[in-house]
Structure 1
Amino acid sequence: MEWADLTEGAKAVLEQTRNMKNDQIQIVEFEVGFENNYGEGDNQYKVSIQEDDYENLKRFTKENEYGDKYHMARNKNIVKIILLENEKIPDNLSEFPVFRQYKFDYLQKNEETQTEEEQPEENEDDQQ
């Protein structure tokens, strides 16, 4: 299977495993059914990962012609895709951070954090 055969959602996920490839293992988590707009103005783009994107990724990781080796694991609608180094899953996988998350609960956590940061702090001098 070649890159051109991938769906847009599958490409979005795989690009994240390749963007910062270095000596570390790369992990991307996504939720099947995830949709979100990123960026602003002319730089805005949409990431949508649906069931057909998952099936596409599953096929690509098995038939990849580019030499990279991947492992994919699915639990309900949450999928982890791991770019492997040395073609094996490390024993201490939980020690590696997730590089990118396309999940609704992760999106909500980020929005809550941003909302908290945007709220002005009350200054004691203002309370006279």
Structure 2
Amino acid sequence: MATTPSDQLKYAAAILWQRAEWTTDAIAGSCCDDDHDIELDAITDAACEIRAMAEKLGDPRTYSDGRQVQTTREIEPGVYTVHVWHPDPSAEQPRSWRGSLRHDPDEQCPGVFEVTTTPETQEIHVRTVRLA
């Protein structure tokens, strides 16, 4: 499947935005963001500029063939996973990853989750297992 230049820019904008959010959240969560305000602002500003360019080419949430640019699924209340779909679904392989459910460091882990993507159908499957 051939992708259009607008689809490629929408993909790049969505990937940049997702990674900028993740990076700035991780830095802010590490309690060392006071020394990095300028750098965090620069990352966010770059993501906003690229996103604004993509918005000029139509709905930034959908590709030219009508597929979604990204999908969000809840793992547990307040915890989400976001996947940005490649503009050419044949270029993307299914992915799976696992992690621990949220818990305080001094508490036992309440369970695990597994996320699987299906590029052909743009589905994200989330499975959680709570430990007894």
Tell me which interval the TM-score lies in, with the shorter structure as reference length.
under 0.3
Higher relative contact order (CA 8 A, sep 6+): 1
- Computing the radius of gyration over CA atoms, which structure comes out larger, 1 or 2? 1
